[in-house]
Structure 1
Amino acid sequence: MSDLEKAAQDAVNAAANSEQLALIAAVLKAQQLTQQPVTPPTPVAAPSGGAAKWIGIGIGGSALLLAVAVSAVAIAISAVALTVCVLALRSVWQDVRKNG
């Protein structure tokens, strides 16, 4: 076999090998495209105590409104007491001015 024939045979073998490699690469690429990556399921967040949260808000709101109501009653009692005190002092002052 001459060098030319040997080089031609090597070229034919290289072409066949490159066709086989291209075929193998295409098959691998097709396998990669058809295989879906396995994604782990996303965790579902558990409800964060919806009813308990609203019950707590209701109790807290009720306590706040009760405190406001008691404060309003205390302010009203103080206003009445102050009025009575002022009227009594005015009466005493008028008596002192009349007798004095």
Structure 2
Amino acid sequence: MTDLNPVEKAEAAVRAAETDTAAVQLAMAAMELAKLATQQQAQQPSPQQVCQHDHRKAGRSTGEWIGIACAVCVGGVGIAFASLALAFLGAVGAIVVLVLRDMWREAQRKGR
């Protein structure tokens, strides 16, 4: 027999110590402990199977919500200023067109 595992070693010790009751009881206890140890090692997950990363909830944190709210406010103000600028540009364009039209009509009347 070469390279015996702990369970086989304990069983061999029990067979060798059959005459001595205390030695048999001690060997049986060692054999049971070895069996329990091998069973526990088989049941425990390997270190590679253990999940090591942090599980976070799917929701957003308070800081993220504050950042989103600030971005929406800044975007709303930007859209408001852009709308005002377009309205101002439209009014100025209308005034320029009316003035140019009036100047054209006067030039046409004087030319006749």
TM-score by length of 2: 0.55
Pairing 1:20–2:14 present = no
Give the aligned partner of residue 8 of structure 1: none
How do 1:1-100 and structure 2 match up within 5 A? 20-21=11-12, 27=32, 28-34=34-40, 37=44, 44-45=54-55, 50-100=61-111
CA 1:44/1:22 → structure 2, altered by over 3 Å: closer, same or farther?
A: farther
Amino acid in the other structure paired with 2:74: A
Offset at residue 86 of structure 1 (A): 0.4
Return structure 1 stretches of 4+ with deviation > 6 angstroms: 38-41, 46-49
What is the aligned-residue RMSD (CA, Å)? 4.0
Structure 2 unpaired stretches of 5+: 1-7, 15-26
Q: Which has the larger radius of gyration?
A: 1
Q: Percent identity?
A: 20
| Mapped partners of 2:62, 2:70: distance in 1 | 12
> Higher relative contact order by CA 8 Å / sep ≥ 6: 1 or 2?
2
Amino acid in the other structure paired with 1:20: E
- Between the two proteins, the alignment pairs up a number of residues equal to 84
Q: Which has the higher helix share?
A: 1
Offset at residue 20 of structure 1 (A): 2.4
Give the aligned partner of residue 23 of structure 2: none
Structure 1 unpaired stretches of 5+: 1-16
CA 1:19/1:44 → structure 2, altered by over 3 Å: closer, same or farther?
A: closer
